[in-house]
Amino acid sequence: MFLEVLLVVCGLFAYYYWSFRTRTSYWKEKGVPHTENTSFPLGSAAILHPDVLQNKISGHDAVSKQYMEFEGHRFYGVYSAMKANPILVLRDLDLVQHVMGECDQKTHY
């Protein structure tokens, strides 16, 4: 009984790990600049960087550092924790205004 439960748990963990790693190739496939150091299961969002979680640096400093890594790019991609959902970070003000204008036109209050 214990062996079967252990095999199921190991199988679920292996599937979850495989799924996480598969999802973290999304930005590369789309040709979007992205963070290469995606840690399992924390993703690559700066606020969940291991140094932030261990209180070695502040969340603000981690986000600022990640933001400055992509200087010269209009946008870049990161991955959320646990599910590795892709997140697009916009750096260019004109692009932000364009996206917000499109969203505002499609939103009905």
Tens digit of pLDDT for each residue in 11-66? Answer: 988 888 887 777 778 888 899 998 877 767 667 776 677 777 788 888 888 888 88
CA distance 89 to 54: 24
Residue closest to 36 by CA, chosen among 72, 76, 90, 68: 76
CA distance 107 to 99: 12
pLDDT at residue 75 in the model: 94
* Between 70 and 105, the higher pLDDT residue: 70
CA distance 37 to 65: 14
Q: Are 87 and 46 in contact (CB under 8 A)?
A: no
